[in-house]
Structure 1
Amino acid sequence: MSTLTPAEKTFFGHPRALSTLFFVEMWERFSYYGMRALLVLYLVQPLTDPNPGLALDDGVAKAIYGTYSGLVYLTPLAGGWIADRLIGLRRAVLWGGIVIAGGHFLMAVPSEATFWLGLVAIALGTGLLKPNISGMVGKLYTEGDDKRDAGFSLFYMGINLGSFAAPLVCGWLGQQYDWHLGFGAAGVGMTLGLVQYAIGRRRLHGVGDQPDLPATGRERRSLGVVAAIVGVGLAALVGLLSLLGQAPVTAVTSAVAILILVVPVWYFWRILRSTRDSADPTARRRVTAFIWLFLGAAVFWMVFEQSGSTLSLFAEQVTNLAVTSGFSIPASWTQSIEPLFIIVFAPVFSAIWLRWGDRAPRTSVKFAAALVIVGISFLILIVPMSAYQDDGTRATVWWLVAVYLLQTWGELLLSPNGLSATTRLAPTGSLGQFLALWFLATSVGTTIGGQIASATADDPVLSFALCGGLAVAFGVVMTLAMRRINALMGDVH
């Protein structure tokens, strides 16, 4: 619990400490989205280009992107446990930021080996930072505070300020001058976030300084054992897939994808077993409710997270990006459209939830609507994609603008509200781990989306129809199950 006092200065009506976390997350997202805007474009760029990439096939690049993004959101499972049980939220965020910055600077080195090593470092650092900075935001508010959802929406706007600026800066440097210069600029962003964190430490008033439930010596040793088992298992799986004829890169992406899909099944089974003997009679029902939110979020991110792969290549290969006869915007710049819409609409949604208060739609309603909306955003792309395949007619950029507008509305319905609900559904002592599970939903969805995009790379119309149709279908399922979900959530709105 924080030691914030009512007399303390506020940040747009919220605890002043929120400003520190707001800007740290803004710069972390700048670094991540700056790199993400370049990743797939760099992977597919021909070796003969003056600014050469790795010349990979579109399908392979999409699989790499999906699996890497999935890994970014898988590592918070370990990062949440480390914060909850070993070092506390505050130090986890600090060390995570340091590792992320190091990863970006490794990618700035013009070497394929350091490029892959840097991707791994960013995934590991994000695992420490991402769930735990959100946990610190949750700890700024008391249980039942009606400002909590609005606070998370404001925090979410900071994320999108970084996401908006990153493709413009890193994308321009990477595509127009040198890919590695763009990757290095992303590292500068994370470094600025670390400076902000150090300067604003006093405002946190001890939030996250200590682990909520310190681990025993035996539990500490078990972490190393689990890490070793996962490492050996992944290596064995890569070897097996290679023997079955998969190329090395494909074998790695497939092995990581399998791990990402297995982990949540095991994790929820373990949590449900532990809640059978819980002293809190509502714990098991809340975990079951969270599973529904997890599945809905996974399907949502399956579509949404293809913005850095499928939609990025759609912008590069299918969209007319010419502004004048002599100038076309870089494809990476289209990645700034959705964050710009978030910046515009996040305050609107935040104000709506504050004004409605207890009359606002429940989380289950918001999730169902978000799924239908994000599904439609992909289904409409069947029209311009079909035209391009028929006669080579390039799509106008307004198709992407419409897609990102719909995805913005869906994201604002699902993401900040789901994040807020997660902090309230988490059992005592498991906040960091439950936030990690929330981000694992993104991992699962991104991985599945990457595999679908890779498998349907030769038929983009089928890809849009399949992903969009699945999202709409699950939105309908959640609508039909809404009364059951609400009953499981109890007083969590």
Structure 2
Amino acid sequence: MAGDVGSRVQERTIFGHPRGIVTLFLTEMWERFSFYGLRAILYFFLIATAAGGGLGLPKPTATAVVGVYGALVYLLALPGGWIADRILGARRAVLTGGVIIMLGHICMALPIRGAALIWLGLGLIVVGTGLLKPNISTMVGQLYPEGENARRDAGFSIFYLGINLGAFAAPYVVSNLAKDGRWHLGFGAAAVGMAIGLTQYILGSRHLRGVGETPGHRLTPKERRHFGLIALTGLLAATLAVVVWAATGTLTVDRFTVALTVLTIVVPVGYFAYILLGSHNLTADERLKMKAYIWLFVAAAIFWMIYDLAPTVLNEFAAEKTDLRIFGHPITAATTQSFNPLLIMIFVPVFAVLWVRLGDRVGAAQKFAFGLFMIGVSFVVMAIAAALAQSGRISVWWLFLVYLIQVFGELSLSPVGLSVTVELAPHAFRSQMLGVWYLSFAVGDAIGGQTARLLRYVSEPVYFLTLAAIAIAAAAVLIGFSHRLRVLMGER
């Protein structure tokens, strides 16, 4: 009894939370520092000429690469969660993922000319993030005993702060290091950030109290052989397909991004078909809820299609069309990527209070519709800014306004999406549905990366207005069907 009391006292020594929350907070903060640091400069590196130390890709191709890169990070969260649950356990999955991420950044940081190490590095970062991202969130939840929902929610709020602190600091630090073609120094800073995160994760693991040490549903030896054979066959088949494609002389970076975009769309379509067309002992009510959820999934994909153009289209607009000064202080174009996490940290508590006060009067579909409307309005503002920029550089505060409007949309859709995913998940798929939610990010990122091809045929104002019209039209459809969706979802 005395031992229990002692451990309980120790557990509450950090503002009433398990000490392990600090370990996971710092790990996620540094991992996000490395991720957003790379993302802030990746597009500029891809379009920079060989003389400028870059890869010299056409702008539409570079936008597609960044989009597919983001999509694959979210796509691999599904197998990453499965590997932890069946083979490694969450703790080893996070460590393994962090090491792979760091190796990826190191590959990109090596001052060796050519694209091979760059593609290898990006591939390693995608695989590592797929292992780390879903499983570190799982460990946060497991730190808290069952029934302590309020403390758990507060713990996730602290964890969310770590994400945004890393995302806020990274663009400024990394982009300033990478100025004047010093790309590999910027990539190296991302590697150092991940190394710091890993070091404190290893040192702080003793505070995790056994969380994530063992897989939740470890595979039997027979199952390991079975799934190992499937994985090996799939890997060999994919490798063979790429080799054959390359042998035909038609494989290009551009076409490869299109193929990956198609694959990203096919995965959720197949997954929803698998859920709805199979029996899985789903009740009639669960099937209705899943049909409603597909509407929300598509809406979320449209939202992310526009929202995640920040590191490409909006980043280039900052570089080419804005006066990059804040209160007279010069900044890099990539520093504008810090606007979003700063605004999120400011407005998260405001929206948390707002949703509590609104209660059941506003349903998930209506919140999603508002999010879509806001992302549409943000691109109407971008169209105005682009039209003004045809006469010369405009104030960077136009972009600040765009990100402010987008954050209002994100806070109306993203947290609500997580909540409604858990709420509508069929019992047989409850542990997998959060991975399905992240597929909406993947689809949106992949398609959004392809939309820049439109800029070959239309002006920037028309491009922004086209995407705005898609989002606002989707918002109108959701509002029109919101009553029906509330019925399907069982909302009052």
Q: For the superposition of Structure 1 and Structure 2, which TM-score range results when normalised by the shorter chain? A: 0.7 to 0.9
Report if the CA contact (8 A) 2:280-2:428 is conserved: no
Q: Please point out which of 321, 345, 348 is paired with 1:346.
A: 348
Alignment partner, residue 189 of structure 1: 193
Distance in 1 of aligned mates of 2:163 and 2:154: 14
Report if the CA contact (8 A) 2:106-2:187 is conserved: yes
Q: CA deviation at 1:486?
A: 3.5
Q: Please point out which of 291, 299, 304 is paired with 1:296.
A: 299
Q: 1:246 to 1:469 in 2, by over 3 A?
A: farther
1:99-248 matches, within 5 Å, as: 99-111=100-112, 112-139=115-142, 140=144, 142=146, 145=149, 151-176=155-180, 178-217=182-221, 219-220=223-224, 221-222=226-227, 224-226=229-231, 228-229=233-234, 232-233=237-238, 236=241, 248=252
Q: CA deviation at 1:98?
A: 1.2
Distance in 1 of aligned mates of 2:359 and 2:14: 23
Q: 1:255 to 1:230 in 2, by over 3 A?
A: farther
Distance in 2 of aligned mates of 1:43 and 1:194: 28
1:358-397 matches, within 5 Å, as: 361-389=362-390, 391=391, 393-397=392-396
Secondary structure at the counterpart of residue 337 of structure 2? helix
Secondary structure at the counterpart of residue 89 of structure 2? helix
Alignment partner, residue 337 of structure 2: 335
Report if the CA contact (8 A) 2:301-2:441 is conserved: yes
Report if the CA contact (8 A) 2:245-2:251 is conserved: no
Q: What whole-Å deviation, never above 9, does each CA across 1:65-124 have from its counterpart, x for those lacking one?
A: 111111111111211221222222222222111111111111101233211110000000
Distance in 2 of aligned mates of 1:12 and 1:413: 29
Alignment partner, residue 472 of structure 2: 472
Length-normalised TM-score, structure 1? 0.87
Alignment partner, residue 58 of structure 2: 57
Alignment partner, residue 436 of structure 1: 435
Distance in 2 of aligned mates of 1:226 and 1:254: 24
Greater mean deviation of Cα atoms: 181-190 or 341-350 = 341-350
Q: 1:11 to 1:144 in 2, by over 3 A?
A: closer
Greater mean deviation of Cα atoms: 83-92 or 136-145 = 136-145
Secondary structure at the counterpart of residue 207 of structure 1? coil
Q: What whole-Å deviation, never above 9, does each CA across 1:245-284 have from its counterpart, x for those lacking one?
A: 8561112211211111111111222233455425x77654
- Give 1:195's aligned amino acid: T
Distance in 2 of aligned mates of 1:231 and 1:461: 45
Q: What whole-Å deviation, never above 9, does each CA across 1:17-54 have from its counterpart, x for those lacking one?
A: 433322221111100000000100011112333xx212
- TM-align CA RMSD: 3.2
Distance in 1 of aligned mates of 2:464 and 2:170: 26
Q: CA deviation at 1:242?
A: 8.7
Greater mean deviation of Cα atoms: 7-16 or 205-214 = 7-16
Gaps of 5+ in 2: none
Secondary structure at the counterpart of residue 456 of structure 1? helix
Secondary structure at the counterpart of residue 368 of structure 1? helix
Distance in 1 of aligned mates of 2:21 and 2:412: 21
Alignment partner, residue 261 of structure 1: 265
Secondary structure at the counterpart of residue 259 of structure 2? helix
Report if the CA contact (8 A) 1:25-1:159 is conserved: yes
| 1:486 and 2:460 are equivalent in the alignment | no
Alignment length, in residue pairs? 482
Q: CA deviation at 1:130?
A: 1.2
Report if the CA contact (8 A) 2:300-2:440 is conserved: yes
Report if the CA contact (8 A) 1:238-1:252 is conserved: no
Q: CA deviation at 1:215?
A: 3.3
- Give 1:333's aligned amino acid: T
Alignment partner, residue 448 of structure 1: 447
Secondary structure at the counterpart of residue 309 of structure 1? helix
| 1:419 and 2:418 are equivalent in the alignment | yes
Q: CA deviation at 1:405?
A: 0.6
Q: What whole-Å deviation, never above 9, does each CA across 1:406-462 have from its counterpart, x for those lacking one?
A: 111222222233234434544568565322222221111000001112343553223
Q: CA deviation at 1:479?
A: 2.4
Distance in 2 of aligned mates of 1:148 and 1:486: 28
Secondary structure at the counterpart of residue 192 of structure 2? helix
1:267-346 matches, within 5 Å, as: 267-274=271-278, 276-278=280-282, 283-322=286-325, 328-346=330-348
Q: CA deviation at 1:15?
A: 5.1
Report if the CA contact (8 A) 1:89-1:133 is conserved: yes
Distance in 1 of aligned mates of 2:91 and 2:431: 12
Q: CA deviation at 1:357?
A: 8.9
Length-normalised TM-score, structure 2? 0.87
- Give 1:252's aligned amino acid: F
Q: 1:451 to 1:347 in 2, by over 3 A?
A: same
Q: CA deviation at 1:162?
A: 0.3
Residue identity over aligned pairs, in percent, reads 44
Question: Based on CA coordinates, which of the two structures has the bigger radius of gyration?
Answer: 2
Distance in 2 of aligned mates of 1:24 and 1:357: 35
Report if the CA contact (8 A) 1:164-1:340 is conserved: yes
Greater mean deviation of Cα atoms: 198-207 or 357-366 = 357-366
Distance in 1 of aligned mates of 2:424 and 2:384: 41
Q: 1:454 to 1:102 in 2, by over 3 A?
A: same
Distance in 1 of aligned mates of 2:79 and 2:302: 23
Alignment partner, residue 70 of structure 1: 71
Q: Please point out which of 242, 250, 257 is paired with 2:254.
A: 250
Q: 1:138 to 1:378 in 2, by over 3 A?
A: farther
Q: 1:196 to 1:371 in 2, by over 3 A?
A: farther
